[in-house]
Structure 1
Amino acid sequence: MGWKLWWWWWWWLTAAAVEVAAESAHHHLVTRIGFGSCANQGAPQPIWNAIIDFDPQVFIWLGDNIYGDIRRPFKIFGKERTIGPWRNSPRFIPSSEQEMKSRYGKAKSNPGYSRLRKNTKVIGTWDDHDYGLNDAGKEFSRKVTNQRLLLDFLGEPQDSPRRKQDGVYASYTLGPIGRLVKVILLDTRYHRDPLRSDGTILGSSQWEWLEKELNSSPTSVTIIGSSIQVISNLSATTGPLFYMESWGRFPKERDRLFKLIEDSKRDGMFFISGDVHFGEITRYDCATGYPLYDVTASGITQAVEKVVPQPLHLLVRFLAWLTPTTMRVMDHNCRYRSCTYGLPNFGAVEIDWNAAPVTLKIEVRDVNGNPVVGVATSLSELQARNFNSSITKKTREHQRHCSLEVSLPWIVRYRLAILASCALAILVIALIGGVWAAILACRRCGRGLKRKCD
């Protein structure tokens, strides 16, 4: 009987020690947070070395954590045409459950990522390619199965509420009392209506949940993670050449989000996002009583400059600078004049709790861990004050970060499309001119030969 009693006491003490350790870890001071997106499991991922050197206590996946769908080749002609207005076959098709498992397994076993997971708490949400299909929303039939696969990849406990709800949204409160950091991760896929519908992104249940989270106990810092960009709406200026997914393409939903944040009077809030295959920082000054930042880090492997030859990188950077934007933060600290970065990158948040006031440094960093764009601010500057948003919009509408892209004059807004049309017209005229010149030259040559024969 005595040995059973000792065994019981040993088991209780061990369990208590584990619980205390877990609780202690939960309350550790958070000073460094890393985040990233768009990681093709089949591509080299050297950037993990820089992320590990940054030594984040938390790393946040913002979607496209794997590329689970199958991308078919470009085909203009033939039976299966995947591009052009005449296309009759989808460019992307879903993978099987087994193939998704295999791709997650490959991503999880990456040596750099495996080293990060040993000392860093990893959390995250998804975007379209790990959801299962490019640009997919609530209509996607395999979302329930793929939700389970994502949560397995993230190591979510089997009894987690995330395994019982519709969607992978979640929140985490980290750090000690008085220095709390709240991370809210949104699901922009499971409930999303079709693009161009101006319907819902989050769905009613997630909106109710988000309202409760924003009106819950205050925290020093609140980070909202969205797989797609919240503040930037570059599609308003790059269309009709090409479009990108963003909250700006659902204006009613974005207005609702800004209104919810304003009503919550929550301090120290900013967004982090991914998806677009380049890094940038955007800002909106007319949603709350303080600037709202959106730090986009995209991607771990996928980046716009990687898909074009090296000599064309300067052209990509020039077009990024030429693209009209009212939201992007532009200053001399950016590596490039466009204040975008089109090579592999990750996001880094540093909080100096010992500074007075507490300071925040939010950056996009390159494969070597060097900052390429960044913002330094303080919690005192991110304080919700008494203000009327409608009055603020009227009195500050002249300011750069108070006018959305859709409000730009049409000749500015469609600058890229106008230039592309002019370039195409010049190219066509030059081609026609070249063909006509060749025909005339052939005729002259033919006449010359005829004279010689005569």
Structure 2
Amino acid sequence: MAATFRLLILLLIVVVPPFVRAARDADAVVSRIAFGSCANQSAPQPIWDAVVAFDPQVFVWLGDNVYGDNKRPFRVFGKERTVGPWKNVPRFYPSTEQELRRRYQLAKAKPGYASLRERAQVIGTWDDHDYGLNDAGKEFSGKVFTQRLLLDFLDEAEDSKRRKQAGVYTSHMFGPEGKRVKVILLDTRYHRDPLLSDGTILGDPQWQWLERELHGPQSEITVIGSSIQRNGVIFVSGDVHFGEIARFDCGVQYPLYDVTSSGLTQSVDNSVPIVFQPIMRLLAVLAPTTMRVLNPNCLYKSCTTGQPNFGAIEIDWNALPPRIKLELRDVEGRSVHSVEFPISELQPSGALAMKKQEHAFQRHCTLETELPWLTQYWLALLFFGTIAVFIIAVVLLAITCLSSILTCSKKTKKE
């Protein structure tokens, strides 16, 4: 499932019949949850005004809550070569404990975020940049002090079990019986084996903890190879610097939604000059995907955005039946993508179950890796083909110009 939804960071929201999650008062009914990731502490963060205006009872950090590592310039040649065949130094390197603490303090002092902390309960996990180093796993030597600094940033109690364990995974249960929400925050860094290995992401202790968590309050969904049944699972994730709402219908007997919110400051569109942003949006819409939701409530009917964004979950407990709304909102607080449906849709049902058919394309069921090769890579082929044609055209133009110059030169000499 992680591969299907590209969940580099997973927040598993488990709904005990029907679905809820509360803030500081564990028995309070929660109807609004916001979440986000990828917030550069050195960049302006106007999006907090929109988050505060949404008035969430809980805000969930999904990682890259600060950018705690450092990046050397992109260099192929020179004394410090960070890319290419002659690379001799890593492009990313960690900060000192003092510097990382300063960056957390800078993030915590942002006026908009300070206002949010006064209104909502803030919980969260981390990803690589706040863990301490880009793409780092269990081999990172600074993880003990970076864990302490993250928990300080999240105002974790000094006597919290989370401060004594190896890793920042945790769970929260909110709301009264009948309107409870359990939030399981996974740590995909502290115990992760090296990339491209056949090792683990969570590590044995976290897997064992997760199994115990899934044997908690009665529910009706099978999660991560467990035989325990739970109601209403929704995945939310971050990391990738774009937002998307995806759906998978062939996992369990109801639709599985994944809302990716990334980032609060870092985004694909803002990484390129403004004149190229429409091209980036067009490519995002045209990119082959089998899981992305296509919905009239989404901009351009395709639920993906490259602009700064935050995620929102809104629950209407007064509706009959109760309804849930999943959204991505922009820096102005406008809903750019949303899906809404009855909570009962997140219950196992033979009527909603889809069976995967061999050798047949099924939207929200066929994996992207199962698409024909040409379908998977046609955009890449078009992109690199265009570059190749452009280079060939430039070379031919240069040859033509040089040939003309030589011809004119010869004629001049003859005259």
TM-score normalised by L of structure 1? 0.83
Give the aligned residue type for 1:430. A
2:313 counterpart residue number: 349
Given that residues 162 and 168 in structure 1 are in contact (C-alpha distance below 8 angstroms), is that contact kept between their aligned partners in structure 2?
yes
1:6 counterpart residue number: none
2:163 counterpart residue number: 163
- Relative distance call for 1:398 and 1:426 in structure 2 (3 A) is closer
The one of 396, 411, 415 aligned to 1:448? 411
- Relative distance call for 1:395 and 1:418 in structure 2 (3 A) is closer
CA deviation map 1:135-179 (0-9, x unaligned): 111111111110111000000001111111111011000111110
CA deviation map 1:214-249 (0-9, x unaligned): 2211369x9xxxxxxxxxxxxxxxxxxxxxxxxxxx
C-alpha displacement at 1:258, in angstroms?
A: 4.6
- Relative distance call for 1:270 and 1:396 in structure 2 (3 A) is farther
Give the secondary structure class of the aligned counterpart of 2:100.
helix
Distance between the aligned counterparts of 2:197 and 2:218, measured in 1? Answer: 35
Distance between the aligned counterparts of 2:260 and 2:68, measured in 1? Answer: 22
Distance between the aligned counterparts of 2:50 and 2:166, measured in 1? Answer: 35
Q: 1 or 2 for the larger relative contact order (CA 8 Å, sep ≥6)?
A: 2
2:34 aligned with 1:38: no
CA deviation map 1:347-406 (0-9, x unaligned): 0100111111111001000001111111112221000246999x9234896421111111
2:251 aligned with 1:287: yes
Given that residues 58 and 122 in structure 1 are in contact (C-alpha distance below 8 angstroms), is that contact kept between their aligned partners in structure 2?
yes
Give the secondary structure class of the aligned counterpart of 1:265.
coil
Given that residues 321 and 337 in structure 1 are in contact (C-alpha distance below 8 angstroms), is that contact kept between their aligned partners in structure 2?
no
2:356 aligned with 1:393: yes
TM-score normalised by L of structure 2? 0.90
The one of 225, 230, 247 aligned to 1:259? 225
C-alpha displacement at 1:76, in angstroms?
A: 1.8
Aligned length: 394
Give the aligned residue type for 1:314. P
2:281 aligned with 1:317: yes
2:15 counterpart residue number: none
Give the aligned residue type for 1:441. S
Q: Which runs of 4+ in 1 moved over 6 A?
A: 386-389
The one of 217, 242, 245 aligned to 1:278? 242
Given that residues 181 and 219 in structure 1 are in contact (C-alpha distance below 8 angstroms), is that contact kept between their aligned partners in structure 2?
no
Give the secondary structure class of the aligned counterpart of 1:25.
coil
2:304 aligned with 1:361: no
Given that residues 343 and 366 in structure 1 are in contact (C-alpha distance below 8 angstroms), is that contact kept between their aligned partners in structure 2?
yes
2:4 counterpart residue number: none
Give the secondary structure class of the aligned counterpart of 1:392.
coil
Q: Which has the larger radius of gyration?
A: 1
C-alpha displacement at 1:259, in angstroms?
A: 3.2
Distance between the aligned counterparts of 2:131 and 2:229, measured in 1? Answer: 33
> Identity of counterpart residues, as a percentage?
57
Distance between the aligned counterparts of 1:449 and 1:363, measured in 2? Answer: 71
2:398 aligned with 1:435: yes
- Relative distance call for 1:79 and 1:338 in structure 2 (3 A) is farther
Give the aligned residue type for 1:400. R
More displaced, 91-100 or 329-338? 329-338
2:174 aligned with 1:174: yes
Give the aligned residue type for 2:72. R
C-alpha displacement at 1:322, in angstroms?
A: 2.2
C-alpha displacement at 1:337, in angstroms?
A: 5.0
C-alpha displacement at 1:302, in angstroms?
A: 0.3
CA deviation map 1:158-213 (0-9, x unaligned): 11111111110110001111100111111111111222224211111111111221
Structure 2: runs of 5 or more not aligned: 1-21
More displaced, 100-109 or 76-85? 76-85
Distance between the aligned counterparts of 2:212 and 2:347, measured in 1? Answer: 20
C-alpha displacement at 1:23, in angstroms?
A: 10
Over the aligned positions, Cα root-mean-square deviation in angstroms equals 2.2
C-alpha displacement at 1:86, in angstroms?
A: 3.2
Distance between the aligned counterparts of 1:84 and 1:23, measured in 2? Answer: 49
Distance between the aligned counterparts of 2:205 and 2:86, measured in 1? Answer: 39
The one of 265, 269, 293 aligned to 2:233? 269
2:292 counterpart residue number: 328
- Relative distance call for 1:23 and 1:424 in structure 2 (3 A) is closer
Judging by fraction of residues, say which structure has more helix: 1
